[in-house]
Amino acid sequence: MSITPTSNNSGSKVRVATVWLSGCSGCHMSFLDQDERIVDLAKKIQVVYGPLVDAKDFPENIAVTLIEGSVANVEQLELLKEIRGKTHVLISLGDCAVTGNVTALRNSWENSDQVVLERAYKSPENLQATVPNMVPKLLIKTKPLHEIVKIDFYIPGCPPSADLINYVLTELLAGKTPNMEGKAKYG
């Protein structure tokens, strides 16, 4: 699968989006940890959506989207489906996106959506506390991305190393398929 620059006001640059679902932002930190290599990347790509960019809606016609975090609530579920429809190459970034990781540990409990909220908001010391109802409804189970939509590439790791993120992106930009043997490391 190769990536080609797409139009939409980006000149000849490849339009890239990054997304932060149920994760700790560590994967985005690792993305920034590419340090001076970001300068080289910036010559070829333009990040048009994500926590590092001021854009409200997910844009159309994205060449590559990197998603950090798992899908834990209904809002993220809808966003993921929308992103898949608007993205050419979708990448699961980091263990939460790939495996569920810490965010999926609640899955061991039945009705884990209720269990986790009650554990977070109610406690023996605070009997009056209630579970807030203005936040998006949690899914009963937290899911890794590929259990919901088709994922093209996976970059596991908690967080994935900056080297690995850079390797996958540069391979894709060069029109090659990354080989994850000896590189895909969980944890």
Partner 1 sequence: MTEISVVSLKIDGVQVSVPEGTTILKAAKDNGILIPTLCDLEGLTPYGGCRLCLVEVTGSPKLFTACTTQVNPGMEVTTNSVRLKNYRKMAVQLLMSERVHMCAVCVANDHCELQALANQLGVDHVSFERHFTRETIDSSHDFLVIDRNRCILCTRCIRVCDKIEGVHTLDLKQRSKDTEVIMDLDESWGDSCSCTGCRKCAKVCPVGAIYIEGESATQTKHRDVAEFITERRKRK
| Sites of contact with partner 1 (CB under 8 A) | 92, 95, 98-102, 104-105, 107-109, 141, 144, 146-147, 151, 153-156, 158, 179-187
Rg, the chain, Cα only: 18
Q: Looking at residue 153, what DSSP letter applies?
A: E
Comparing CB distances to partner 1, the nearer of 76 and 99 is 99
For residue 61, the minimal CB distance to partner 1 (Å) is 26
Tokens found for residue 63:
């060449």
How would DSSP label each residue in 51-76?
TTS--SSPPSSEEEEEEESBEEEHHH
Comparing CB distances to partner 1, the nearer of 63 and 158 is 158
How far, in Å, are 70, 89, 135, 150 from residue 74 at the CA level?
Answer: 12, 23, 10, 18
Comparing CB distances to partner 1, the nearer of 129 and 176 is 176
Comparing CB distances to partner 1, the nearer of 41 and 164 is 164
Q: Which residue has the tokens 């992103």?
A: 83
For residue 4, the minimal CB distance to partner 1 (Å) is 24
Comparing CB distances to partner 1, the nearer of 15 and 106 is 106
Q: Are 93 and 27 in contact (CB under 8 A)?
A: yes
DSSP H or E run through 92: strand 87-93
For residue 34, the minimal CB distance to partner 1 (Å) is 19
For residue 180, the minimal CB distance to partner 1 (Å) is 4
Amino acid at 35: D
For residue 60, the minimal CB distance to partner 1 (Å) is 27
